[in-house]
A and B are shown apart, each in its own frame.
Chain A
Amino acid sequence: MNVARLISFAFILITIGVISVKFISWEYTFKNILPQKKYEVNIDISSRGFSQPVNISTYLPISDNRQTISYETNNSPSLNFLVEQTKSGRVGTWNTMNGNGMLPIRYSFEFIGRAIKYNIDSTLIIPKTYPPSFNEYLKTTKNIQVKHPQINRIFQEEVGDNDQILEVLANIQSYTNSLKSRPFKGVTDALTAARLGEASCNGKSRLFIALARSANIPSRLVGGIILESGTKKTSHQWVEAYIGNEWVPFDPLNNHFAFLPHNYLSMYRGDKFLFSHTKNINFEYKFNVKSRLSPNPLLQQELKSHPFNAYQLWKLFESIGIPIGLLKIVLLLPLGALIVAIFRNVIGMQTFGVFLPALIAVASRETGLFWGLIAFMIVIGVVSLVHFPLEKWGILYTPKLVIMLVAVVILFLIISYLSIELNISSLAYIALFPIVILTISAERFARTISEEGFVQALLITLQTLIVSSVAYFAMNSDSMEAFFLAFPELFLVIIGLNLLLGQWIGIRVIEFIRFRVLLR
């Protein structure tokens, strides 16, 4: 075995060793290292005023032990906005005395939730009495008809004389869940749900509450949204019952028993409506949800307390004012380069420049992959046009490159300006593209056109874009970022893999196509 191979195996083994120590002796956990799912929620409300007072209100979520709400922003150019705390939740109100024309509202926030599971002690007995403040969670209301004979009958059939909390609630859940599910619009009261034998989330929840209150268990409605990427109008309602000393969630529609999934956003408590608004204003709303992964706040805690990770560097960068994004780029660039190396040496793709794809991927972090690739193509295409007259006039190499570089800079400024004017703000970030490397790539692109033809140049561009995209997805993954922060020893693996790659004499994938007439 040769030295390079020995070193590469040693590097890989050392890394596995260090990572094992971190997990076993220092109690690193995957749960804390891996990123969490984060949701960007936009509540879009539109209405139209005809010179009259307009008043719209909705519940706004608040952070609690299960959900974290951050980066709240309100954008309502033609309406006043105020927030007040009520018993059922935080209410946001938009109003104006004289609403005219379209009155758009966008309320945005970020949500991170965690799934929560409660264990109900099977020996717990339903208390006989509660403090007076619990009366409202036990009483009968217009839509939750606790005392109604029909509800009583169902209670006797489904629950009977039982005083064990766990069993009573299990019976109620299994009965309400067994009712047919139907996406009714509007309000279904408990009695109607029972009579029809079918209901949507709010009918089943009210019936659940009516039965729980019949058993003397305080319970209430919870309103919110089940978050999924996409646009929707459906909100959701579920139930909380007071057990021991806490409110425990139940969802009779989706059969979650003493459990709430991580993507349930709760917005208010009680039998309320999510929205209320002035009549005749063409009120419309929708929820626009995007999910993405984001670094786990627990990761920082984890890293802070242990040596041999990149957290200290992080602190150092922060203390001297270097943007943290730069550290992330530095940490992930080797990974991008490894991907380029694999594509070039194993698959056999041709790219402009060895590391250009990794750098395009880095630059696209800010613009997003789509605009990043578009910007790259525009720059390469336009700047290579400059090359042809320069070549025809026999301009020398270095001065030619300088002229092309100036063309890149001018183009960047124009694109940045236009993107802000046209409100495609992410495109303005193309100024972060590595200008010098782009210039050299544009020159090489133009030269490839002269020497090997336009088709060939285009093919290499296409391959560069493919490799860039793959590098982008690897380098912009929060999991990768978290992993390299927690385990910078992975660099050794990258060196090791390249030592192996550098000795690999296998035939590249593309060569099988190139030499296909010879295969036998």
Chain B
Amino acid sequence: MILHLSSTTSADVAAELDSLRDKSGSVALGKVLTLIVVARNDESIEAALDAADGASLSHPCRIIAYLPDRQPDAHEPSLSAELRVGGEAGVSEVIILRPEGGAGTDPTSLLLPLLLPDTPVVVWWSEDAPTNPAKDPIGRLATRRITNSIANTNPVPVLKELAKNYTPGDTDMSWAGCTLWRGYLAAMLDEPPYEKVDSVEVKGSMEHASTYLISAWLGLRLDVPVSVSNSQGYGLEKVTMKRASGDLVLHRKVGETTALFQRPGREDQRVNLETRTQEHRLIEELQRLDPDIAYGHVLEAFGNGVVSGC
């Protein structure tokens, strides 16, 4: 069911949700978190909501999509809202808030009445993120703040800024993009011979934040020089860990969904390594709501220039 409310207030939206719940049986109880999605504009909100709806199948939640106030074309300050429950919203309930003409001056006051009691609040900036998420007015409402530097084609300054302001609870979607790669790379070093890695080469899109984060992670944990080179593909393409006995290589050719697992003296293996969708990354981000300290350290290492040339 989709319901449009114009010239409304947050209290009216909350009351309307309560009454919808009585009528249609959609329950707020049992939802485990409130997810605030901050989108850039009306054009981009649907893609973000698709991912959030998909993620809500894994984490039943109330989704509040917040569109920043469009001051310029405003006449009167007003808030319009769109409610989606039941079939249209999967297992979540969706509220889209569109403040206009100054009604969004204080976003906190718009959002607070709509947060579920006693459950964590997560904010996800689906495109543009504030440089200091924890100090952002909406970020302050949340215990977990997810930025999406993947949406930016020049991620280095974005990551530098995030590194400068890192607060426990911050995380970035590009970090979830590294997880499968990291799993396989760590598994390579689980196997004998347990030999020191001397240096690392990472090949990945220079326009993709995952390239930098995985390089920073390898540099931090292995304490060796990491060199980064550009790939024409999307995201990561190849990681080479150089050792005296030969190279350990994880290589996903551009456009492929499997990667080659190469070790000296052993036959190459194919492993499943798909590029993760926005939805999958979001599901992973919502799995643990405690601060991801490991990410903080990797981001800090990146900020401190562990990866040369960035």
The finding on whether chains A and B are genuine partners in a shared complex, rather than unrelated, reads no
Taking Cβ atoms with an 8 Å cutoff, the residues of A that contact B are none
